[in-house]
Structures are given as C-alpha cells and as structure tokens.
Amino acid sequence: MVNQENELLLTSPSEKKARFKRKRDKVIAQFIIWTILIVMYIPILVLIAYSFTTADNIGTWTGFSFDLYARLFTSKTGNEIMVALGNTLLLALASSLISVILGTTGAIGAFYSKKRTRTAIESVTQIPVVNAEIVIAMSLTVMFVFVGSYLFGGANVFSFWTLLAGHVILSLPFVYLSVKPKLQQMDPALYEAALDLGCTQRSALFKVVVPEIMPGILSGFLLSITLSLDDFIVTAFTRGSGLLSGEKTIETLSTLVQAKIKKGPIPPEMRALTTFILIAVFLIVLGITIYNNKAAKKNKVRKGRE
Amino acid sequence: MQSTKKKGLKRFFSFKRKYLAIPYSVFLALFVIVPILIILVYAFTDTLDDGTLIFSFKALTSFFTSPSKINVLVVSLFIGILNTLICLLIGYPLAYLLANNKYNKNKILVMLFVMPMWINFVLRTGATRDVLSFLGINGGNHPYLATMIGMVYNYLPFTILPLYTTMLKLDKSQIEAARDLGCNPVQTFTKSILPQSIPGIVSAAEMVFMPTISSYVISDTLSEGKVTLFGNIIYLNFSQSQWNEGSFMAFVMLILVGITMLISKKFDKGEARISANNLW
Amino acid sequence: MESSNTIISLVNVTKVFEDGATAVDSFNLDIKKGEFVTILGPSGCGKSTTLRMIAGFDIPTSGQILINGEEITNLPPNKRPVNTVFQRYALFPHLDVYDNVAFGLKIKKVPVKTTNKNGEEVVKMRHLSPKEIDQKVAKALAIVDMDEMEDRDVSTLSGGQQQRVAIARALVMDPEVLLLDEPLSALDHKLRLDMQVELKQMHKKLGITFIYVTHDQEEALSMSDKIVVMKRGAIQQVGTPEEIYNEPINAYVADFIGESNIYSGTMSSKLHVRFLGKTWECVDDFALNEKVDIMIRPEDVILGPEGKGVVDGVIDSKVFKGEDYSFIIKVGKAEVLCRDKKNREVGDKVSISVDPENLQIMHKEMMENQWTDCYINDKNQVVIGDDVFEADVTKLLKDGFIDDDGYLTSKAGKRYDLKDAGVIVECSFDDIIISDNLEEGITTGKIVSSVWIGDHYQDIIRTDDDEDFVVNTPYTWMENDVVSININKESLRLTLKKGLDNYAID
C-alpha cells in the first residue's frame, strides 16, 4: 500500500519533470567528463594502437603484428629501453624511499619543534615546491660542478648519487606536506598515552605516531613515485655514469625518449612499452582502490586464547 | 656531583622528538639553500679566463640590454598565463562535475585523469607531436598552436587535482543557503562557489604557471625549436657554459617564484594541492 | 611526610612555561594511599599541569615529586607507577578495543627470579606471556563492563564506551595511582552522573589511589575523599567535601563551590560581626575591627515575618526549583540569595536571620591593591609594571611641592630628586576606574576572575605585563573581557622603599 502511494507521489508531473532534468544533467555531465578524458588519452591510445603494427611512424599501418613486443626484448633499441626502464624504476623507488624516510622524520621532528624552527623549516620546504624545475636542476648541477672542482680537485662528481639527490629534492617537500596534516589531525594525547603505558619516546613514535600518520606517508610515497617517473629536467641535468649497466651516462626513459624524439619519431618499441606501463598503472590503481574499499575485515586471532 | 653531571650529559644526548628534523633540515640546506646561494653568486659575478669569479653586473646588463631575451621573457609570460587560463577553464568545470556526487560517485574516474602522470611526460609529448603532425599540425606550420596544445595536454591533470579537492570541501550548506536566500544559479556560483574554491584555483595556477615558463622540452619538441621559452634560454646558456648569464636568468625566475609564493601564501599554504594526494 | 601512609608528595612544585607563564606555584600536597583526591579549579588554574607533572608529561621547573618516598621528579612517564585516563580518552584509533587494553601489557616487563650458571639467584625481566596478557585484558574489560566489545574498532564506540576502554587500559597496568584528567567532561549530563557512581565504586573495589582533576564542583563534592581547590597555580584549600563546602577558607573558594552569599564586613566585638548594616552573632573568633568576608549558604538563610529577624528585606525574584524556591531578597542595595520551601511572592517583605554556626567568617585575602615593585620616573609619575600613572609625590613630604625644575621641595627649600626611586604603591579596590572604552584608561587588562560579594563584584584585572588590579565594581563583567584601567592621581598612595633623605640633592 505504502509503496504504491509513494509510487504515485513520485510520478506526479512536476516530480517527473524534475527527475527528467536530473537525469539529463547527469548525462550531460558524464558526456563532458568522458569526452575530456578520451581526448586526453588520445596520444597514449594512439601509441598503444600502433604498438600492434611495425611501422616506424604513427599514421602508417603495416598490418597487425606483435612484432614490436618481441623487439622490445630482443632488438638493440629494445635493450636500451629496458635498461632505461630499469634505471627509471630503480631511481623512482630509491628516491621515494629516501624521501619518505627523510620527509616523515622531518615532519615529525618539525611538528614537535618550537614554532620558530618549524616556520623556518616550512619556509624552506616551500621553495622546491614552487620553484621552477629548471632552476632546481641548474642550481644543483652548478653546485655539483662547484663541489667537484673545489673539493675533489676537479673530479666529475656526477653519478647515480647526484641523480638520486636531485630526485629526492623533487619529492621530499611533498612527503613533508603530506605527512604534516596527519600529524596536525592526530590527538596529541595519543603519544602521551603511549608513554603512560610504558613506551619509551622512540617506541611511542613507532607504535602510535607512525601508524596514525600512515595514510599521509603512503600518499607521500605514491606522489614521490609519480614525480620521479614524470621527471625529465632534473634527470637530464644531474645524471652521470650508470650503475646498472656501466654505460657512460645513465639513461632513464625520459632522457632516452627525449634523445630519440629530437631526431625522429618515438621509437616503435616504446609504443609496446607504453602498453605495458598503462596496464601496470591500471593494475596499481585498481589494487589501491580494492585495498581501500576492503575496510580490513580480517579475522582476529588472539595469541593468548585457546 | 659526578652523578648529576653524568645525568646532564645523558639528558643532552638522549633522544628527543625534535631531533628527527635534523636530517631533513640538513638535506634541505645542502640541496636547496646552498645551490640557490651559488646561483646568486654566479648571477652577480663574471668568470675570468682562469676561472675566478669577480663581482660584476655584466649578466644583469647583458640580460636587460638584449631585446631577444626580454622578448623571450614576455612571450614566456604570455604563454604561461594563457596556458594557466585554458587549463583552469577546462579543469574548473571538470573538477566541479567530478566532485559533485550528483554526477560522479567514482573516485577511479578522478584517478584516470591523473594517471597519465605515471607515463613520462616526454613520452606523452612525443606522442602528442606525432599525433598532431599526423593531423597536419606540426612545428613547421603551426609552432605556437602545437606548443599550446602540448602544454594544455601536459598540465591539465595538474590543475584537476587541486581543484577537485577544493570542490570536495565546498560547504554544501553555504551553497544551499545562497539558493535559499534567493540567488539564481549564476549568483550562487559567483557569491558562494567561486569564493570558496579560490584556494584551489590559486594552487592549480601555481602548478601550471611556473612549469610552463620553465619547461623547455614541450616547446622544443612540439614547435621544432621555433618557440623559445625562458627555460630554453636558461638551458642554452647553461649548455654553452655561460653560467653567469644562465644564473642571472635563473635569478629572474627565482624572483617570479618569490612573487608566486607571496600570492599563494595569501590564499592557502599548499594544503589544497597536497590534500589532493589523499586521493591515492 | 615520611608517614608510610603517604603515596605521593609534591614538595614546592613550581612550573613556569617557556613563555614565562607560571602555571603552578610552590604546590605542596601529600596524598594518602587509597585516597580519592580531586583537584578542583577553573580552567587555567594549573590543575591539569599538576596532574601532568605527576604523570611525567611535564617536568617541574623546581620542586620535587615523590612516590612512596622516592623522588620521581625527572623520571619519564614510562618509568612511573602511575597511569592516566585522558580527557578525550586518547584511545589508539588503529587498534581495536582488545589491543588498546593490551597495549601497555605487551610492553610491560615483570621480574622473575632465576638461577644463573654460577648458581646465584638473579632477577631477570621478562615480557608477559600472551596468555597472561589475555587474562588481564579480559579482567580489566570485565571491570568496566566492556567484555563483549573487545573486537570492536574504537571509532565505532560511543563516548561512554570509549571512556570505559580508556579506564580499562589504564587499570590493566595495575597502577598504584590512577590519574584522571577531566575524564567525564566529554560525556552528556546523565551519563556523567552514572559514571561518577561507577568510578566511585571502582575506587572502593580496587583500593588504589585516584587523583581526579575537574572543574565541576558537583563532581568533586560527590566523589572525593579530599578536595584540593586551586586558583591561579596555587592551592586555596585542602579538605573533605564537607569542610570545603561548610567552611570555605576564603571568598574565592566559597564562590567557586556551590551557591553562596558573600559579604564584606567588620568584626564589631567578640563573636559579633557587622555587615548588611546590622550586627550578627557568630562563632568564629576574629580580631576586633578586622575586615572580613562573610559567607552564607542560601539554604542556611532563615526567612521570617518582617521585623522578626536580624535584617529586613524585600523579595526581588523567585524561581521554583522543584524541591524548593530560590529567592533573591533585596536588603538595601545588597542581595541575599536564599532557598526556602515556603512559597512567597515577589514584593513580600521578609526578615532574614542566620544561625550563628552557619555564618562562615573568612579572612580577607587582600585589603587593597599593593604593588611593591614600582618606581618614580623623571616626570614624577609612578610606573607600575610598564604602565605610567599620574601620582601626587608631594604627599611624601609634609607641605612639600614641586619646584620649577621638577624636584620635590620642602618648605625649608630642601630638594629631592625622586627619579628612579623605588616605591610601594597602594590603592583601594574602590578607586580603580574600569571601562570598556579601551581608549579611556592608562592601560588595559583582561578580567581573570570575578566574584560577587553581596552588593558588588570583586574583579581581578591582569594587564599585559602581568600586574593585577583588584577592583570593586557594581557592573557585571565577563571573564576574559578586556577593559581599560584608570586611577585618579589622589587615589594612589606611595611609600618610598628607602628613606626620603636618600634622594636629597644639595
């Protein structure tokens, strides 16, 4: 009965009109969103589409084949690409780990420092965030040359380590700024409660503060990875001889692609790699979403229970 | 007496939470402050043949007396502002739609907009160039158009994130109150939604403006070297070992950065941009 | 102090914060084993800081804290045999109920006696076994009636439930002293009353010492064995709830605890005090002519037909309180608050009398303002703190005057240079003029306390440079109001710290 009544109420003419309007608005909104999204993905999707043909240039289709995927693992260019990919991933992981450790400890330390110290630290933190990348890259490089010539008797100090330092500087402030709001949201009494229950200062940090700010640390880490993977300028300036393969300069994907596209089109093997990258990114995003949605419904096992 | 002294020493060396800031501060000092100081030194010196530096305004005068460099600065500022505006014009309504759960309840959709960032921007730029030239727009015939398209492609995701997070935080009851008090949709927008989203707009602009001016890869690739931005000439000076000139132009950029910092400090402290990461 | 019964002693404990504010000032207190002690005072009186120093979160600037006769002043919190229940519970959000309660147990180490290789008996420390932990957690959760909830996330619990977990988490550590920092302040009224009863029962059952901090005087009266009333970092009175209520030591305590009438009066003869224009019989023996404060609880006021009591008044307002009526009776300009079961109408004339036993006579805390660290500047003005007031320095010398050069000059022509002379400045409470027009005064200050004394308020105004001005005012001001302060030249009385001759110039 009641349901029927509701049904009747809902289908009154004005209600009908409003429902139609809502639906129409939603369709328009979805249309706008998806159009922009697709347009944004066109270059990437085109690359992927042309990874199934062997032509050198985008725009010429020479028949469907998986050749490029094989060439990615066999050809000389493919080899170069894989080495660069390895370097890129190693650099992203290493710099993100360092940034997360330094940035998290820095944020915790600053949070518990006097206001003046904190303000000073935060002002300096802001500099790399707003600074032009080319200025960061150039100033670091000039310093490295300076250090090399005045402290190491003219030696070339450029190496994986200078590259690493450059990438850490890129992402470090973002880790700090991701962790800071979590510290501010934390109840300050939690730390004291841990001390009260027998923790030393150090173990209270690990057992209570770190778990509390974990979401901030994780998003700082993901942002660091993103920034490192996306970077070109700092890499191009601060790279030196390679660690992984012993080649003269470290090539990352960005420097490799940049060198290639200066002379011609994107190397065909790169198109195949793009497919893999996109799939990997999709999987990661999917994984994160699933993890977030699964609100940790684990079975609790008490150690001391029979 | 002895014991109190020992105690004092122990207390001095014992762990304090604020000590955790030391490695971070040292790192920032070494890799942010020192390099900038060195740049400042180079900007106001001249390098003699034997490599020694002497105080000089040569880089300053050579910058301000070179019409081509000034011209590059003006063109860069223009392209920077134009790109910021276009990105905001596309990004703002998009972020509004994405953040409004009447139209979109899906966080994954937002992530899809950010995901291109995981594919290196040089590769994306290359792909854009190849696609554009297939469409007949290339550096040869439309250098500025190609550059602008490349810029928007590259920086749009950066604008969406801060705008999206600000939109999520819009005070719904304030918007309803505006409607209730008789605002039409346009007035509701200008009187309630827009003022509330200014921090997001400021951080989005900040994310786009400076990088547009300073990044030389996009203009190089898409205009086939025909469009020169400020980043290009800094890079050029640097690669030609003209460090003093290069440093002075970096100094000019630093001043621009300082102005941006001052403006953004007025509106927010980077929270909008950073909380964007809570998306992950 | 060495009595074996004492569990905690605070000796001259003082806490000055980095910004220079003194939160606790030479605090002395002994707490007996098994006592339920409440530290009571308004916010900012230093009660929480005192508790935090006992817990170890704040270290005293000076003084000592002893537990069982052992000094723990500088010991970190994790080494103290005390545990805290926090105001906003401070449960760990990333752990469930069980793990919150087990948190401390997993860290705790207990001594075990073992024999080493050489056959000597040594005491080693070991962690508790999971089974021991489980038993203790279960027991603690049972005490607070939360044993069904152990798998719940703390964020899903109500405020009252969270409070129970917080108590269990502290109790499970077997503390010798349980510290409770306004634990019920976040709960709603009814729940608060229930928890008061439960806490009191828990205290009886466990037999450990409770130190309870609150600003709620009802809570303090209903739960405590002993109440410590604090004001601005200092103890005002220590006593049982009955003592504190019936025999408050000063107007501040009387005003803070329960409803009260406070009047200013004078001892007129032995066991007689004069106030409200009449002489009243009393049982407290004070010095003749001493200025005193008199406190009468509203329920102790006896109303009678006009002319039959000590003083007559007119009923000015009445409020029905369920059990009885609350009347405000005007006696001249003064007001008397009283409780009576008999209904009367506004405008009725009544007489007022009070059983001599129920007149609580208290020493006046301060008779008038006195600033001891002042000096005279080169314009013959007096500087109190950082503020410059006009003053009449000629009063320092009979028939003195200021000559053209600005020197105080005697009739005989002897001259004195008073620049930088240290003086003690005094001023009556009635002679300070305060106003909400901040431009009007010489300086401004914030009202830090306001006590109604019969027919006027006595307010304390603190300036930015931490000087206090006590003012009698007929007007209602709120605490934290900012007012301007002005004092007429004639109202300031100066006393030179050194003799006038020290400032003579030839």
- Which is higher by pLDDT, C98 or C499? C98
Q: Which is nearest to A174 in space by CA: A110, A123, A125, A136?
A: A125
Residues 118-177 of C with CB under 8 A from A: 129-135, 151, 169-170, 173
Chain C nearest CA to A303, separation (Å): 6
- Rounded mean pLDDT, B61-80: 90
DSSP letters spanning B221-264: HHTTT-S--HHHHHHHHHHTT-HHHHHHHHHHHHHHHHHHHHHH
Question: What values do phi and psi take at C106, rounded to 5?
Answer: -70, -20
Q: Which is nearest to A134 in space by CA: B213, B77, B147?
A: B213
Chain A nearest CA to B44, separation (Å): 14
Question: What values do phi and psi take at C107, rounded to 5?
Answer: -95, -30
Q: What is the pLDDT of residues C104-144, one digit of tens each?
A: 999 988 888 888 788 788 888 888 899 999 999 999 999 88
- Rounded mean pLDDT, B253-274: 72
Task: Using an 8 Å CB-CB cutoff, list chain A residues near B98.
Answer: 33
Task: State the Cα–Cα distance between residues A281 and A222, nearest whole angstrom.
Answer: 12
Domains of chain C are 93-173 (no CATH), 259-363 (2.40.50.140), 369-505 (2.40.50.140)
Most A CBs within 10 A among C52, C107, C176, C180, hence the mutation to make, goes to C107
pLDDT of residue B146 exceeding 80? yes
Task: State the Cα–Cα distance between residues C232 and C47, nearest whole angstrom.
Answer: 9
- Among A10-24, C245-259, C322-336, name the one with the lowest average pLDDT: A10-24
Task: State the Cα–Cα distance between residues C428 and A161, nearest whole angstrom.
Answer: 75
Percent of chain C at pLDDT exceeding 70: 98
Using the Cβ of A58 and the Cβ atoms of chain B, whether some distance falls under 8 Å is answered with yes
Q: Which is nearest to A229 in space by CA: B211, B120, B277, B161?
A: B120
Contact C87 A197 (CB under 8 A): no
For residue A4, the number of C-alpha atoms closer than 13 Å in the C-beta half-sphere is 1
CATH class label, B59-168+201-279? mainly alpha
Using the Cβ of A116 and the Cβ atoms of chain C, whether some distance falls under 8 Å is answered with no
pTM score over 0.90: no
Q: Decide: helix, strand or coil at residue C77.
A: helix
| Phi-psi group of A200: left, alpha or beta (phi > 0 → left; psi -120 to 50 → alpha; rest → beta) | beta
DSSP letters spanning C114-170: EE-TTS-EEEEEEEPPHHHHHHHHHHHHHHTT-GGGTTSBGGGS-HHHHHHHHHHHH
Task: Using an 8 Å CB-CB cutoff, list chain B residues near A140.
Answer: 31, 35
- Among A177-191, C62-76, C281-295, C447-461, name the one with the lowest average pLDDT: C447-461
Chain A nearest CA to C125, separation (Å): 14
Strands C62-67 and C6-16: antiparallel
Query: What pLDDT sits at residue A240?
Result: 61
Q: Cα-Cα-Cα-Cα dihedral of B197, B198, B199, B202, to 10°? A: 130
Residue C187: DSSP 8-state: S
Query: What pLDDT sits at residue B11?
Result: 53
Q: Decide: helix, strand or coil at residue C214.
A: strand
Question: Domain residues of chain B, as ranges?
Answer: 59-168+201-279
Contact A108 B113 (CB under 8 A): no
Q: What is the pLDDT of residues C416-467, one digit of tens each?
A: 888 888 887 888 888 888 888 888 888 888 887 788 777 788 888 888 877 7
Q: Cα-Cα-Cα-Cα dihedral of A231, A236, A238, A241, to 10°? A: 120
Query: What pLDDT sits at residue C506?
Result: 66
In DSSP terms, C37 is beta-bridged to C211, C226
Judge residue C165's burial from the number of C-beta atoms within 10 Å of its C-beta, 0-12 exposed, 13-18 middle, 19 or more buried.
buried
Give the amino acid at A122. Answer: E
Q: Which is nearest to C21 in space by CA: C52, C55, C61?
A: C61
Query: What pLDDT sits at residue A245?
Result: 43
Query: What pLDDT sits at residue B21?
Result: 92
Query: What pLDDT sits at residue B275?
Result: 44
Contact A192 C130 (CB under 8 A): no
Query: What pLDDT sits at residue A303?
Result: 63
- Rounded mean pLDDT, C76-84: 91
User: Residue holding tokens 């001391």?
Assistant: A304
What interface predicted TM-score (ipTM) does this complex get? 0.84
Residues 59-98 of C with CB under 8 A from A: 76-78, 82-84, 86-88, 90-94, 96, 98
Helix, strand, coil share of chain C (percent; to 5): 20, 40, 35
Task: State the Cα–Cα distance between residues C376 and A284, nearest whole angstrom.
Answer: 77
Q: Which is nearest to C428 in space by CA: C364, C492, C497?
A: C492
Task: State the Cα–Cα distance between residues C163 and C153, nearest whole angstrom.
Answer: 14
C235 contacts C29 by C-beta, under 8 angstroms = yes
Residue A266: DSSP 8-state: P
pLDDT of residue B152 exceeding 90? yes
C421 contacts C376 by C-beta, under 8 angstroms = yes
Q: Which is nearest to A50 in space by CA: A268, A259, A298, A230?
A: A268
The encoded tokens of residue A197 equal 């229950």
Task: State the Cα–Cα distance between residues A230 and A253, nearest whole angstrom.
Answer: 10
Residues 190-209 of A with CB under 8 A from B: 200-202, 205
Task: State the Cα–Cα distance between residues C392 and C33, nearest whole angstrom.
Answer: 58
Q: What is the pLDDT of residues B91-139, one digit of tens each?
A: 999 998 888 877 777 777 888 887 777 788 899 899 998 888 888 888 7
Find the CB nearest B270 among A42, A129, A132. A129
Chain C nearest CA to A220, separation (Å): 19
Give the amino acid at A235. Answer: T
* Closest residue, chain C, to A298 (C-alpha): C151
Contact B31 A121 (CB under 8 A): no
pLDDT of residue B4 exceeding 60? no
C267: which residues sit within 8 A by CB, 6+ positions away? C273, C274, C286, C287, C288, C289, C290, C292, C361
Q: Decide: helix, strand or coil at residue C34.
A: coil
Task: Using an 8 Å CB-CB cutoff, list chain B residues near A218.
Answer: 280
Task: State the Cα–Cα distance between residues A211 and A216, nearest whole angstrom.
Answer: 10
Give the amino acid at A103. Answer: G
Percent of chain B at pLDDT exceeding 90: 23
Which of B261-270, C224-233, C451-460 has the highest mean predicted lDDT (pLDDT)? C224-233
Q: What is the pLDDT of residues B193-223, one digit of tens each?
A: 888 888 889 888 888 988 898 888 898 888 8
The encoded tokens of residue A274 equal 């793009």
Task: Pick out chain A residues at pLDDT < 50.
Answer: 1-5, 241-247, 296-297
Using the Cβ of A176 and the Cβ atoms of chain B, whether some distance falls under 8 Å is answered with yes
Query: What pLDDT sits at residue A294?
Result: 66
Task: State the Cα–Cα distance between residues B250 and C263, nearest whole angstrom.
Answer: 76
Task: Give the CA distances from residue C128 to residues A121, C102, C106, C141, C446, in Å, rounded to whole numbers and listed in that order.
Answer: 43, 11, 7, 18, 54
Q: What is the pLDDT of residues C365-392, one digit of tens each?
A: 766 787 877 888 888 889 888 888 888 8
